[in-house]
Structure 1
Amino acid sequence: MRLVKILVDEDDLDAVLSVLDDEDIDHVSFERVTSGAETSEELLVEFPLPNQAVEYVRDRLDETGVTGRYFVAVNAEMAQTEHFDALEDRFITGTEEGDSVSPEELRSTALSLHPDPAAYYVMTVVSTLVAVAGLLLNSAALVVGAMVIAPQVGSALTASVGTTMRDWSMLKRGVRAQVLSLSLAVLASAVFGVALQSLGSVSPVVHLETIAEIGERTSPGLLTLAVGLAAGIAGAVGLATALPVSLVGVMIAAALIPAAAAVGVGIAWNAPSVAIGALVLLVANIVAVNAAGYATLRAFGYKPRDDEGGLPSIRTSAASLVLIALVVATGVTFTLQASFENDVNGAVDGVLDDSEYEDLELIRTQTDFVFVPGSEPPGVAVVVGRPAHQSYPTLAADLGQAISRTTGRDVTVRVEFVERQRYDGR
């Protein structure tokens, strides 16, 4: 709920009150005397409104030409007036004007989510270090903890609102904060990884591909891209409808912080396939979050006011072209990666279906990111369960040959066996 305050010249008071009376909006007015070159009498008019009604009433008042100089909407806890229940029925439970908040409130809320630079970058580094620990320990709980404290929701939504409203300063602020903070996250995670190796806390010969939490960020596919799209949509919906955005921030951080940490880990352990795969995922999710946020806000009907200068059209066109190019490039890359992984999975299933391996149980298949310039053949890690005390010395070779035939690419295959026993109880 909002308490709206507008300053009205005495000559315009009747027009304003007529609009409020037509809409059954209960109001009060206070006399105010201003001093200047000329002394004039003005009135401060106050009235409570549901969040969703602010923009509609502002548009009605704009017709009187008096709302441009002083129009303020502040949070209010409750209202007990003659017609407020009817306004709630009309604008909240009814269908009139939808559920979106006013553009001014949207802008101020997005800016309030972005803390001062010192806190923003410090929390980014802290969340990244927690994410690195979670990735190396293969701890989903620590990775989730890193998402909770990451502050990326503010910069992402600031950029989306700035693009929607053609507010050049907001767009620059949001984009700059995202690029700098995520670059800092990559650098911090790489330095932290090198420090861990120097201190002997983690072996420098760790096979990163075998760690499930890292593997999820180094082999991007269309499903992982969907996380970024969902995060951007959820953030914009929460912002536009005045829902709590704090929980949505976890979703946005989930698309960005673990991927940035994985890039730094890949650099620290000199694993190009890990670093580049995670970097592609990070860039794709940045694009997805911002594009989905912008598209969702436009779907809610937000757009620049006719009298706003805002972002020049040439910059809008350039930004749109860059965004489209990134979306197309990442989409093509993810599609090719997904196709390669499907072929690998099909080849693995085909080998394990042979009678020679009928006692084996496939647990997990992990494929390196394919598109790493100048790298060695992509690796495929296959984890299978086998009966105790049985060996399958030719399984890796059989899998490698089958995958090469299916995909047309040379690959390296690493097989990990998990011993299993079974008791039927009979």
Structure 2
Amino acid sequence: MPPVAFWEVAAWRNGLRPVARPVSLFRDRVVSSAMRHLQIRVEAGELDAVVDALRGEDVDPVVLPVGESDADARSYLIEFPLPTEAVDRIRETLSEAGFEERYLVIGNIESATTPHYDRLVERYVEGDEEEERVSNEEILTKAHDLNPQPTAYYGMTVLSALVATAGLLLDSPALVVGSMVIAPQIGAALMASVGAALGEDDMFTGGVRSTVVGLAVAIVAAAALGWGLKTAQFVPSALNVTTVQQIASRSSPGLLTLVVALCAGAAGGVGLATELPVSIVGVAVAAATVPAAAAVGIGVAWAIPAVAVGALTLLAVNVASIVLAGTLALWYLGYRPSYWDSPGSTRRRLRSFFGTRATWVALVLLGLTVLGPGSLLASQIAFENRATGGVQTVLDDSEYDSLELLSVGVEFGTAGLDDGPRRVTVAVQHPVGRQYPELSSRIGDRIREATGEDVVVTVNFEQRSRSGPS
């Protein structure tokens, strides 16, 4: 007998007493980076049905009696390895065989040696039955593990907010990105998504609470740093924070920022539900939250309501979008509340689903996002599209054929708090020696006609010189 071996149940004798034989580690070895070790406890009356069901699915169980002797055993502990992709299928098979999950442990393992494990790999990893997802219990555990202890969570949140504030004031994209790397917001956001998807009220509430409190701490830290820098005159007193590009871009919601938040939430949900790494998604989640929270703090420190409220609106839209996208991604992958698997009518399931606190809070957040910030975002997107169309219409005139449009930028720094003019910045290339003094006025008139709003248009000219063909 080799010094280390797995044991396979070979025959049943004397009623329910298992007789085992050793299986060499050097035969049928299968090594995988995604393997699970399951332990279940079954009553004596369930043992035959459970073992037969496992063997019917190419699983090689190890049966150990629970008691001083085999004859006294009233329950048995069954252990077996599985590919991650097969866990849900085997659990369904056991449920159909009459097994109730009173005792179930799922752990990670590095390798396994059983006579039929290669068949499981062929079926669930390489074959038609492949389904790259983890069980509900495992996804709950993964989401909890992503959320650090309160001391570490709030400490890292403060540090990331301070770095983001410095990056915004210095107009340094590198520092802003650095704040995203150390931000811990992904754990709380994905906890909320998992709780909403699986109908776990406590988990959803905890995730939302951690997200809101963490971002509130980030805002306070950013405001304190901004006020301190301003009071100590480490920042020029004449600095107009509304003209800093890194701050202006986070003073109101926009289509691209919404896309970032939706993609970050969806990527987090997919990462939790599969073996894909989730930690790298944290940068995208932080990109949608931490700089916006720092911008709110800067608006408070400089007493500029337009910046503070605009950035807060952007922050609220992004948080709701992340949670919503993560929930929808998990639903798309087949994750549902556990009570949906119980027998009952569709009406009963829907009543149970809409009776949970997580569902109603999610609906309220969605409603606030659509009715409040969402409507503002839609109006800003419409204005930006009309302004861009107006610019293109003017440049289509024959007298501007030599001009080349580079970009059109619209600033929404007021966030709808006043009736001041919108600022539109147009960048164009023009041939050397040509001047277009009336261009900004014509673009301004065209945008006012298209949008019905007052605008201030700035045209930045970049000279162009090109050689002709030889």
Same fold (TM over 0.5): yes
1:19 aligns with: 53
TM-fit CA distance, 1:382 = 4.5
SS in 1 for 2:418: coil
User: Does residue 232 of structure 2 align to residue 199 of structure 1?
Assistant: yes
User: Does residue 369 of structure 2 align to residue 336 of structure 1?
Assistant: no
Q: Is the 8 A contact 1:209 1:381 kept in 2?
A: no
Provide closer, same or farther for how the CA distance between residues 61 and 362 of structure 1 changes in structure 2, counting only shifts above 3 A. closer
Larger strand percent: 2
Provide closer, same or farther for how the CA distance between residues 390 and 210 of structure 1 changes in structure 2, counting only shifts above 3 A. farther
TM-fit CA distance, 1:271 = 3.4
2:41 aligns with: 7
**Unmatched runs of 5 consecutive residues or more in structure 2:** 1-34, 343-348
User: Aligned partner of 1:104: which letter?
Assistant: E
Q: Deviations over 1:20-47 (max 9, x none)?
A: 1111112222333279xxx854332211
TM-fit CA distance, 1:339 = 1.2
Q: Deviations over 1:26-70 (max 9, x none)?
A: 2222333279xxx85433221100111112212222234444221
TM-fit CA distance, 1:391 = 8.2
Bigger Cα displacement from structure 2, 173-182 vs 277-286? 277-286
TM-fit CA distance, 1:98 = 2.1
TM-fit CA distance, 1:202 = 2.2
Q: Deviations over 1:276-307 (max 9, x none)?
A: 33222211111111111111111122112228
User: Does residue 337 of structure 2 align to residue 304 of structure 1?
Assistant: yes
Q: Is the 8 A contact 1:204 1:269 kept in 2?
A: no
Give the total of aligned pairs: 422
SS in 2 for 1:115: coil
Q: Is the 8 A contact 2:252 2:415 kept in 1?
A: no
1:225 aligns with: 258
SS in 2 for 1:52: helix
TM-fit CA distance, 1:111 = 0.8
User: Does residue 276 of structure 2 align to residue 243 of structure 1?
Assistant: yes
Q: CA RMSD in A?
A: 3.2
Match of 2:293 among 256, 260, 273: 260
Q: Deviations over 1:118-174 (max 9, x none)?
A: 111111111122222222233222222221111111111111111122111101100
TM-score (norm 1): 0.87
2:123 aligns with: 90
Distance 1:313 1:220 in 2: 32
1:318 aligns with: 360
User: Does residue 86 of structure 2 align to residue 53 of structure 1?
Assistant: yes
Q: Is the 8 A contact 2:380 2:412 kept in 1?
A: no
TM-fit CA distance, 1:106 = 0.9
SS in 2 for 1:246: coil
User: Does residue 217 of structure 2 align to residue 184 of structure 1?
Assistant: yes
TM-fit CA distance, 1:390 = 9.0
TM-fit CA distance, 1:314 = 5.7
Distance 1:94 1:205 in 2: 66
Bigger Cα displacement from structure 2, 167-176 vs 136-145? 136-145
TM-fit CA distance, 1:193 = 1.6
1:17-416 residue pairs with structure 2 within 5 A? 17-33=51-67, 41-96=74-129, 98-306=131-339, 313=355, 315=357, 318-329=360-371, 330-350=373-393, 355=399, 362=406, 365-369=409-413, 371-374=415-418, 376-382=420-426, 399-413=443-457, 415=458
Provide closer, same or farther for how the CA distance between residues 270 and 395 of structure 1 changes in structure 2, counting only shifts above 3 A. farther
Q: Is the 8 A contact 2:196 2:362 kept in 1?
A: no
Distance 2:89 2:163 in 1: 45
Larger helix percent: 1
% same residue:
44
Bigger Cα displacement from structure 2, 363-372 vs 296-305? 363-372
**Unmatched runs of 5 consecutive residues or more in structure 1:** none
Distance 1:265 1:351 in 2: 38
TM-fit CA distance, 1:386 = 7.1
User: Aligned partner of 1:365: which letter?
Assistant: G
TM-fit CA distance, 1:245 = 0.6
Provide closer, same or farther for how the CA distance between residues 402 and 199 of structure 1 changes in structure 2, counting only shifts above 3 A. farther
TM-fit CA distance, 1:393 = 6.9
User: Aligned partner of 2:323: which letter?
Assistant: N
Bigger Cα displacement from structure 2, 203-212 vs 180-189? 203-212
2:15 aligns with: none
Q: Is the 8 A contact 1:337 1:369 kept in 2?
A: no
Provide closer, same or farther for how the CA distance between residues 263 and 44 of structure 1 changes in structure 2, counting only shifts above 3 A. same
